[in-house]
Structure 1
Amino acid sequence: MSPTKKITVNNTEISVVLQANENDYICLTDMVKARDDSSRAADIIKNWIRTRSTIEFLGTWETIYNPDFKVVEFDHFKKEAGLPTFTMSVNSWVEKTNAIGIISKSGRYGGTYAHKDIAFEFGAAISPVFKLYLIKEYQRLKESENNPLVQQWDVKRILSKTNYQLHTDAIRDNIIPKLSISKTKERIIYATEADMLNLALFGYTAKDWEEANPELAKKLNMRDTASINQLVVLSNMESYNSEMIKNGIARDVRFSVLHRMAKEQLHSLDKNNAEYRFRKISSNDNNNAIE
């Protein structure tokens, strides 16, 4: 099975084997690593696959999608599932039922893999919240695969690493030297300047957002949830603010300028449906643009 891509959930890389017709396989072993001790992955998967609800789900999936599935063997397992003496492994399930939805794979990307439908079900067994983050990252991967422009320009990563560096460099070179403060307090200056941009663009600080969204804040920050249009404007604001800092313009004046800039640019981008057009660019349009 190939090619293999990676998505990141809970700061853990999870392998995804891309197949034709959206029949992708996701590594269950990696999913366990994101939620538990990796040494227990095999036991956790084995405990999951032996439950009655899992056996019924797997059997139903195979009945729908696998014409060579051995239904008689499935019925036998379904009757025994839930009994204290019932044991099951991925290899046993595959060998005895001719299943295709879940497999064990050796080699560089070894582990237990399952069709995305089954992987999402396994994700729900691990944690409903984890399942949502897994689906979100999988969808992001598919969007980048289906849109070459998005693949070349992962907006949230690139925009956060370009003009933000200009912004922090301007603070370091032009604001920090004028203050006799410790390294710890320097961080407060950086955070204060970042929150000035947040207020000018979003209307609230990072702390305000975290308090209003406690569950989301466990995994994301406010800028992770921003739209593409907002990120474009934020990138422009960081660049412009760095120039105003270099020119010694007072903070209250900079805020007024940036707030007006945010409103004007967002209005223009939203009016022209810039985000929609970016997301809907087709492969053919992208090839023409390159030519």
Structure 2
Amino acid sequence: MGEEANGKINALGVQIGVSSTGTRDDYISLTDIARYKSDEPNDVIKNWMRTRSTIEFLGVWEELHNEDFKPVEFERFKSEAGANAFTMSPSKWISTTNAKGIKVKRGRYGGGTYAHVDIAFEFASWISPEFKLYVIKDYQRLKADENSRLSLEWNEKRLFTKINYRIHTDAVKENLVPNIKGKGGKFVYATEADVLNVALFGKTAKQWRDENPGKQGNLRDGATLHQLIVLANLESMNAQLIKEGRSRQERAEYLNAMAREQLSALADNPTVKALEDGEAGGAA
């Protein structure tokens, strides 16, 4: 499920655990939902899973989302479901069909049976249609709070790159501009900014404008979080290289290699992905 954070939703006084990855692929505790109906939540879940309609629903969900799902075993369960002798548990379903929509978490705190939100809402509806609505409502509240927090962290990252940019321009001013007479200083700032642009984006600000005549803003406004993080690092490094007296060609080559290395390292970082998904959700 990626890097998880534990959250809670409240439906009619029932505290329900949520394993959140910052995306909509969250898993909600069926064990907690079942407590609305009984003090024996495991029995409630097993009773729900032994019905034919549930097996059919779970099977279709897996076929849509899980390439490793075992359809032959699913068909056998579907043919047996509903019979008096038929029994089903989360562990049996997972181990036999290789399902991923339901998970069993071990542990004294936060343990139990969890299911993808699609499945959890279906289970809540079986418990009580009214209860399901309260579960959905507070889950939406949780996601709104989460998106707000992620959006704040995104904006903080943008602020961080602006602070680094000031360090970068100060280095240019103190070490390069004194060697340029008249209005040339402005040209130095723009050129040094393009050293970073080419290293990271592969093009200058002017090239981007020429390629995107109808777009507002500039090349960096459309940067991903991966790129913003790397840009902040490039600005700090370029400031240091300027102070060391490195030539523009040396710096350009070094910074490009650094950008490629760092973008590769961040490509599969779950925390960065969660932040980017949060930004997308907040902008929707």
How does the TM-score come out when normalised to structure 1? 0.50
**Structure 1 residues 169-208: aligned runs within 5 Å:** none
2:131 maps to 130
Question: SS state of the match for residue 93, structure 1?
Answer: helix
Question: Using a 3 Å threshold, how does the CA distance of structure 1 residues 37 and 16 change in structure 2: closer, same or farther?
Answer: same
Q: CA deviation at 1:36?
A: 2.5
Q: CA deviation at 1:85?
A: 1.1
Higher Rg of the two aligned structures = 2
Structure 2 letter corresponding to 1:122: F
2:69 maps to 69
Structure 1 letter corresponding to 2:147: N
Deviations 1:100-134 (A, max 9, x none): 00111111210110000000000000000000000
2:226 maps to none
2:49 maps to 49
Higher relative contact order (CA 8 A, sep 6+): 2
2:25 maps to 23
Whether the aligned pair in 2 keeps the contact of 1:26 and 1:113 (CA below 8 Å) is: yes
Matched, 1:80 2:80: yes
Q: Distance in 1 between matches of 2:47 and 2:14?
A: 22
Question: SS state of the match for residue 53, structure 1?
Answer: helix
Q: Distance in 2 between matches of 1:283 and 1:148?
A: 10
**Structure 1 residues 213-252: aligned runs within 5 Å:** none
Structure 1 letter corresponding to 2:51: T
Structure 1 letter corresponding to 2:6: T
Q: Distance in 1 between matches of 2:86 and 2:279?
A: 51
Displacement over 4 Å in runs of 4+: none
Question: Using a 3 Å threshold, how does the CA distance of structure 1 residues 75 and 149 change in structure 2: closer, same or farther?
Answer: closer
Whether the aligned pair in 1 keeps the contact of 2:9 and 2:15 (CA below 8 Å) is: yes
Whether the aligned pair in 2 keeps the contact of 1:103 and 1:112 (CA below 8 Å) is: yes
Question: Using a 3 Å threshold, how does the CA distance of structure 1 residues 129 and 150 change in structure 2: closer, same or farther?
Answer: farther
Deviations 1:254-287 (A, max 9, x none): xxxxxxxxxxxxxxxxxxxxxxxxxxxx969x9x
1:227 maps to none
1:58 maps to 58
Whether the aligned pair in 2 keeps the contact of 1:148 and 1:283 (CA below 8 Å) is: no
Question: Using a 3 Å threshold, how does the CA distance of structure 1 residues 76 and 126 change in structure 2: closer, same or farther?
Answer: same
User: Please, which runs of 5 or more residues in structure 1 have no aligned partner?
Assistant: 152-281, 287-291
Q: Distance in 2 between matches of 1:20 and 1:101?
A: 17
Of residues 5, 9, 12 in structure 2, which corresponds to 1:7?
9
- Taking only aligned residues, the RMSD between alpha carbons, in angstroms, comes to 2.4
Q: CA deviation at 1:71?
A: 0.3
2:119 maps to 118
Question: Using a 3 Å threshold, how does the CA distance of structure 1 residues 37 and 68 change in structure 2: closer, same or farther?
Answer: same
Give the aligned length: 154
User: Please, which runs of 5 or more residues in structure 2 have no aligned partner?
Assistant: 153-277
Question: Using a 3 Å threshold, how does the CA distance of structure 1 residues 150 and 132 change in structure 2: closer, same or farther?
Answer: farther
Deviations 1:142-182 (A, max 9, x none): 1111113999xxxxxxxxxxxxxxxxxxxxxxxxxxxxxxx
Question: Using a 3 Å threshold, how does the CA distance of structure 1 residues 63 and 149 change in structure 2: closer, same or farther?
Answer: closer
